[in-house]
Amino acid sequence: MKCDKCENTAVYSRRYSGENLCSQCFSNSILHKAAKTISKYKMIKNNELVCVAVSGGKDSLVLLDILNKMSKTHNFRIFVVTIDEGIPGYRDEALKIVENFCTQLNIQHKTFSYKKIFDLTLTESLELRNDQKLSSCSICGTFRRRALDHAAKTINADTIATGHNLDDNLQTFLINILSGDAKKIGWMDPDTSSNKVRKIKPLSEIYESEIVFYAFTNNLPFQTEPCPHM
């Protein structure tokens, strides 16, 4: 089977469009999709510093790879930030992956830990919780958002880019619909509220399955071990 774009051997069949693509044409299509989303929602402005939140998972590393390539031809800069929750035996692997990848790409990188910001690791905070119905993900999510805001302000970033994909956003959309929370339904637009660093999701129109394939076909390293608190 040949690629519909260049007639090289196709390695990916895109069911929703009927396209058959080779590795290079598939990667180019993902870059184009992300660039189109950024342009459509005016996510990044000229000469802005983008704080790229990279955890070491597939989504955030694909996001970094794409923004790094785009920054070569567009007028914006990137700075990678990793949040260390303080989970023994889990975060260390991811930190090494991110550090090595940033060194390879020659990109600035800094790690911010819950311990230094809040004087508590995630593990310590879970031991202190009074309400056992409050999930570890809820607690971690609140800490992470505040830690990212702190990190972005520390490096004087204009916006925070996260690796949320289309599957993530559809799930959030459905939860908000079912809970009747109409205020949160506009999940695609970047956060432009005052006194806050804007938050953007350049991968928000790309399916998770395509992000996984992009990572594999571009030989991107990423952590596969799930969080022990999930």
Summarised one tens digit per residue, pLDDT across range 14-72 is 999 999 999 999 999 999 999 999 999 999 999 999 999 999 999 999 999 999 999 99
131 close to 141: Cβ distance less than 8 angstroms: no
The mean pLDDT value of the chain amounts to 91
pLDDT score at 94: 93
Distance CA 94, CA 44 (A): 27
How many percent of the chain have pLDDT more than 90?
Answer: 71
More confident site: 194 or 93: 93
For residue 111, give the DSSP letter: E
Residue 226 clears pLDDT 90, i.e. is over it: no
Mean pLDDT, range 189-217, rounded to an integer: 86
Q: Is 2 helix (H, G, I), strand (E, B) or coil?
A: strand
pLDDT score at 138: 84
Contacts of 105 (CB under 8 A, 6+ apart): 64, 68
Distance CA 64, CA 59 (A): 9
Distance CA 199, CA 191 (A): 5
Distance CA 148, CA 64 (A): 16
Domain annotation for the chain: domains and CATH numbers: 46-217 (3.40.50.620)
Contacts of 84 (CB under 8 A, 6+ apart): 91, 95, 111, 112, 113, 114, 115
pLDDT score at 184: 58
pLDDT score at 161: 97
Residue 75 clears pLDDT 90, i.e. is over it: yes
pLDDT single digits (tens) 208-221: 999 999 999 999 99
160 close to 3: Cβ distance less than 8 angstroms: no
223 close to 67: Cβ distance less than 8 angstroms: no
CB count within 10 Å of CB 188 equals: 14
Which amino acid is residue 197, in one-letter code?
A: V
pLDDT single digits (tens) 148-180: 999 999 999 999 999 999 998 888 778 777 776
Query: Helical H runs in the chain?
Result: 23-40, 58-71, 91-105, 114-118, 122-128, 136-154, 166-179, 208-217
Pairing state of beta strands 19-21 and 12-14?
antiparallel
49 close to 77: Cβ distance less than 8 angstroms: yes
CA atoms within 13 A on the CB side of 82: 26
